[in-house]
Copies of this chain bind each other. A is one copy, B any other.
Amino acid sequence: MKDICVLILAAGYSSRFWPLKDKHFVNFLGKPLIYYSISQLSRLGFTDLVIVVNKNNKSQFTNFKEEFLNTSFTFVEQGEINGMAGAVISAAKYISGKRLLIIGPADVYEDTLFDSFSKMIKTHPDGILAGTTVDKYFPGGYLTVNNGRVIKITEKPKPDAVPSNIVNFVFDYIENTSLFLDTLAATSSKKDNNYEEAIAYLLARGMNFRYLPYKGYWGYLKYPWHVLSVSSFFLEKLNGKKVKKAEIADTAVIDGNVVIEDNVKIMENVKINGPSYIGYGTVVGQNCLIRESMIGSNCVVGYSTEIARSHIGNNCWFHHNYVGDSVIANNVSMGAGAVTANFRFDEKSISSVVKNKKIDTGKVKLGAIIADSARIGVNASIMPGIKIGEKSIVGPAVLLDNDLPDGKFCMFDKK
C-alpha cells in the first residue's frame, strides 16, 4: 500500500453535527476519532498520508503524530473552495500524479474493508467506490451497480426515488488523480455536490469504477447522536478488565469489560457495568452506577449519579444526576438533581430538530446532547433529544424542551 497516497478529509465542519464541533476530534477510549483512522491506515501499510485540516484542528494532530514513526504526514489547510471538492483541490500539489485513496469524513469501518480493497486494486480498475447495502432510507449518495461496475452515482435522492439499496461512503479510490483534479476544477463551484459530479462525469466517460461492497460495521458522525453508536462500537471491542494505576475502593464492583485509566479514583459502593471506559484522572464518587458508558479524563462523577449508555467528554462534573443515552462534550457541569429524560411517554422514537427540521432519530431511548462548557442548574429537567449549545446555561429547575443555541441562558420562568 506504500504506493497509494491516502487523502484524509478532516477540514469540514457540519452544521448537522451541532452542538458538537469537530467530528474528527470526538474522543473514543481516550483518543480522537481520527487517531483510529490513522492508526488503521498505518497498521495496514499506508505510509503516505495527506490530511486536509482546518486552522482549529491542525495543532491537535501533534498530540499523537509521533506514534506513527513510519508514516509521512502532510497537512494542508483547506483553501477557499468549500466542500469535499475544495478539500481535494487544496491538496492538489501533494496528490497529483499519485494513485489516490480518499477517506473521510469521520467514518469508522473495520479492517475487512481494507482487505477487500487490497484484493480489488490488483484488478487495476480506474477507480473503486465503496458502499454498503441499507435496509431503510439513508440520506446520502446511492450507487447503481451492474456486474460489480458502478454505472451511476445519485447524490441524496428523495426517499421515494432511491435508485438502489447501495449507499456510498467516502472511501474512494482514483487511479488517475491528475485527471480527477482536472475534472474537479472544471465542475467546481459553490455547489455542495460537485465532488460527486466529477465522479459522475468520469463514469459517464466510460471509466471502469468498481463497486467495493462492505458488510462490516460502518460508523459515521452525521448527527450528534451518532456519537452513541460509534461509542458502542468502540466499547464492544473491549475485552476483559484493564485497570491501571487506579485507586479503587474494596466495595466497588466492576463487572464485564471495563478499562480504567491511570489516576482514576473509584469510591465506595460504585458499580460499573461493562463495556465501559473511565478516562485518566476521573473520580467516580460514592454509590455511582455507570453502565455501558464512555467517560473522558479528569471528570468528577459525584455521589449518587447514574450514567447509562452515554458518552461523556473530559473535565465534566456531575453529582446526584441521571444521565441516560446522552452525549456530553467537555467542561460541562450538572447541578444536583438535574436529569436527562430519555424516553417518551408514548414510547415512540425520539425526534430532534436539525436546521429547523424535525427529524426522527430512530432511537426510542435518547437523552440530551450537551456541548462544550455548558452549565446545567440544579433540578433541571432536559427532555429527550434536546441539544444544548456551547457555553449555554440551563437555569436551576428549568424544564428544557427546546434546543438551546450556543451562548444562551435559559432561566426558570416565574410570573
Chain A positions near chain B (C-beta within 8 angstroms):
251, 253, 267-269, 271, 285-287, 289, 303-304, 306, 319-320, 322, 324, 335-337, 339, 341, 343, 345, 375, 377-379, 381, 383, 393, 395-397, 399, 412-415
Contact = CB atoms under 8 A, between A and B. Distances in A.
A286 B253 CA distance: 11
Contacts of A253: 251, 268
A306 B319 contact: yes
A286 B271 contact: yes
A321 B271 CA distance: 19
A24 to B, nearest CB: 30
B322 A319 contact: yes
A399 B412 contact: yes
A383 B396 CA distance: 8
Nearest to A253: B268
A40 to B, nearest CB: 37
Name, among A287, A324, A381, A383, the residue most crowded by chain B CB atoms within 10 Å (CB to CB): A381
A324 B336 CA distance: 10
A336 B326 CA distance: 14
A339 B337 contact: yes
Contacts of A393: 345
Contacts of A395: 399
B399 A396 contact: yes
A393 B253 CA distance: 36
Nearest to A337: B339
A291 to B, nearest CB: 9
A399 B381 contact: no
Contacts of A287: 269, 286-287, 289, 304
Given A289-B304, A335-B339, A379-B399, 4 more contacts: A320-B322, A339-B378, A341-B377, A379-B381
